[in-house]
Structure 1
Amino acid sequence: MDRMLQEVTGSEMPYMLDGSPGYNQVLVVEDNKAETAFTTSWGTFAYIGMPFGSMNADATFHRAMLDFAFRGTKD
């Protein structure tokens, strides 16, 4: 957050990020989809997008958002 604020300080167009709608858009790696599988009376299913509550989901989402937000900026 500090880095983002430093980047936008003095900008003519400030912006705000709301990542909640994109949370399930972080894709699960093909090799790991079987680990997200669950069974119901309608069959067995696996997540395509990262599910809420999975181990390290918060850190993975945070890293993905930082990578997206700062793509093309100086280090």
Structure 2
Amino acid sequence: MLLQTNVNSNQIALFIIIPAILWLILILVALYHISRNSGMNFTVKVLWFIIIIMAPFLGSIVYLIWGKNRKF
């Protein structure tokens, strides 16, 4: 017997909107930190921006975990 659940459009919207907002915040935090990091030269900043634009989720996580505290 198949289980049926009643899912309305508000629940689906919340399931999509909340992760999308969190994803956007993650990207914006990484880009903000790159722009304010005085320890990085301009070329490295541009490379990180390109990485985050090309692969937003993975790029921002990699930057925040690995690249944030590195001196280039």
TM-score, normalising length from structure 1?
A: 0.29
Bigger Rg over Cα: 2
Q: Which has the higher contact order (CA 8 A, sep 6+)?
A: 2
Name whichever structure is richer in strand by fraction.
1
TM-score, normalising length from structure 2?
A: 0.29
